[in-house]
C-alpha cells in the first residue's frame, strides 16, 4: 500500500515539474553560468525512474548498472536520488586514473543522506566521513594498527579456521548435490568469520556471533537503498513510509544491541590487563583512539564504535568475496 501511494504521488509530482519546466523560457538579459558537465546518462527530467527506485525496498541495481554501461559507456551518471547525481565508473583504467592518479580531486564526500547519517553516527566513519582531521584519524588508525603487514600475522589462526570451514562447506555440498557448488555464500561466511575475529577477537567470534552478525549485515545491505526515500522531504516521507522508518530504526537498534555488548566485553578484557596487547583487535584500537573535536580531542562514543564496527565487517566482506570469485572464475577459464 505504501509503495502504491508513493508511486502515485511520484508520478503526479513528476508530471507537474515537467509541465512547469516546459513553460519556462530562457532569459535573454542575463547569462547563467553552466554547471560542470556530467558524464552521459538518463536526463534529470526523467524523475520518475529515481523516484520509483526509492519507492521500492530493494531492486536489482546490478541490472540497471549493466544496462546503463551498455548504453552510455564505462562512465555514466544516474540520478538514484532526484537531486543528487551518482557517477559510476565501470572500467578499471578509468577507475585507476580517477582514484589513484587524481585521487586528491575525489577525496571529499558530500553530506550523507538521512539513513546513512543514522547508521554512521553522523558520518563518523571512513566510507562516508568528510575528508578532514576526523577522517584522517579514523583511516590512520585502521591502516596502521589493523591492516599494517606487521599486524596481520596475528589473525593467521582465524584465516586458517575460515579456510577449513570453506573447504568443508564445499565438500559437504558436493556430496549432497550434483557436483556443482555455488561458492558465493561460503566465501561470504568465511570472510565474516575473519573480519568478526579481527574486529572483536577470537574469544568473542563464536559461530553464533558470526552468524548473527552476518544475518544483520545482510539485512542492512539489502534494505539500505530502500531507506533512501526517507531523505526526500523527511517530514512527509516519514509519515508516508511509517513502516519503513520503523524498519530502519529497528535495524539500527538491533545493530547496537548486537555490537555494543561485544564492545563492552572487549573493554572489560582490555581493562583486566590479562597480558594481551591493547591493539590486538579493531575494537581495542578504537577504545584507545582519540578523535579531534572543537580544537581538542575526545574518545569515541559507544554508538560511534558500533557504526565503525558495522562498517568494518560489512565493507570488507563483499569486496573480498567478489574478488575471490573473480579469481576463481579467471583460473577456471584458463584451465
Going by pLDDT thresholds of 50, 70 and 90, the confidence category of residue 16 is low
Give the chain's domains with CATH numbers.
1-18+30-106 (no CATH), 109-335 (1.10.630.10)
Mean pLDDT in residue range 211-223: 90
Q: What is the pLDDT of residues 258-297, one digit of tens each?
A: 999 999 999 998 888 755 555 589 999 999 999 998 889 9
Nearest in space to 186 (alpha carbons), one of 201, 174, 198, 199? 174
Residue 333 pLDDT exceeds 80: no
Residue 121 pLDDT exceeds 70: yes
- C-alpha distance across the termini of the chain, in Å: 52
Is 279 within 8 Å of 150 (Cβ atoms)?
A: no
In angstroms, rounded to a whole number, what is the distance separating the alpha carbons of residues 17 and 81?
16
How much is the pLDDT for 334?
43
What cell does 39 get?
558524464
How much is the pLDDT for 305?
97
Exposure b/e, 108-136, CB count within 10 A at least 16 = b? eeeebbbbbebbbbebbbbebbeeeebbe
Higher pLDDT pick, 228 / 88: 88
Residue 303 pLDDT exceeds 70: yes
Q: What is the pLDDT of residues 38-80, one digit of tens each?
A: 888 876 544 455 555 555 555 566 777 888 888 899 999 887 6
Residue 328 pLDDT exceeds 80: no
Paired with 89 in beta bridges are 75
Amino acid at each position: 500500500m505504501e509503495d502504491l501511494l508513493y508511486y502515485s504521488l511520484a508520478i503526479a509530482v513528476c508530471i507537474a515539474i515537467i509541465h512547469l519546466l516546459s513553460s519556462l523560457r530562457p532569459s535573454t538579459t542575463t547569462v547563467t553560468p553552466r554547471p560542470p558537465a556530467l558524464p552521459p546518462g538518463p536526463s534529470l527530467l526523467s524523475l520518475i525512474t529515481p523516484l520509483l527506485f526509492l519507492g521500492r525496498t530493494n531492486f536489482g541495481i546490478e541490472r540497471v548498472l549493466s544496462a546503463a554501461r551498455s548504453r552510455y559507456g564505462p562512465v555514466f551518471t544516474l540520478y538514484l536520488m532526484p537531486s543528487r547525481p551518482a557517477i559510476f565508473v565501470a572500467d578499471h583504467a578509468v577507475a585507476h586514473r580517477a582514484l589513484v592518479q587524481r585521487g586528491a580531486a575525489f577525496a571529499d564526500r558530500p553530506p550523507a543522506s538521512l539513513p546513512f547519517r543514522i547508521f554512521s553516527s553522523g558520518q563518523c566513519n571512513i566510507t562516508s566521513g568528510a575528508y578532514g582531521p576526523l577522517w584522517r584519524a579514523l583511516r590512520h588508525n585502521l591502516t596502521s594498527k589493523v591492516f599494517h603487514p606487521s599486524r596481520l600475522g596475528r589473525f593467521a589462526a582465524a584465516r586458517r579456521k575460515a579456510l577449513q570451514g570453506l573447504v568443508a562447506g564445499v565438500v559437504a555440498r558436493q556430496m549432497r548435490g550434483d557436483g556443482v557448488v555455488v561458492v558465493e555464500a561460503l566465501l561470504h561466511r568465511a570472510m565474516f568469520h575473519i573480519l568478526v575475529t579481527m574486529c572483536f577477537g577470537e574469544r568473542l567470534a563464536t559461530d553464533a556471533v558470526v552468524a548473527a552478525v552476518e544475518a544483520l549485515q545482510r539485512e542492512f545491505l539489502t534494505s539500505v537503498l530502500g531507506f533512501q526515500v526517507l531523505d526526500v522531504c523527511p517530514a512527509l516521507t516519514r509519515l508516508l513510509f511509517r513502516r519503513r522508518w520503523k524498519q530502519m530504526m529497528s535495524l539500527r537498534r538491533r545493530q547496537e544491541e548486537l555490537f555494543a555488548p561485544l564492545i563492552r566485553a572487549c573493554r572489560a578484557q582490555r581493562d583486566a590487563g590479562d597480558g594481551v596487547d591493547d591493539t590486538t583487535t579493531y575494537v581495542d584500537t578504537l577504545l584507545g583512539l582519540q578523535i579531534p573535536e572543537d580544537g581538542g580531542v575526545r574518545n569515541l562514543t559507544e554508538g560511534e564504535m558500533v557504526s565503525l564496527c558495522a562498517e568494518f565487517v560489512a565493507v570488507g566482506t563483499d569486496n573480498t568475496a567478489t574478488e575471490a570469485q573473480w579469481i576463481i572464475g579467471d583460473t577456471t577459464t584458463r584451465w
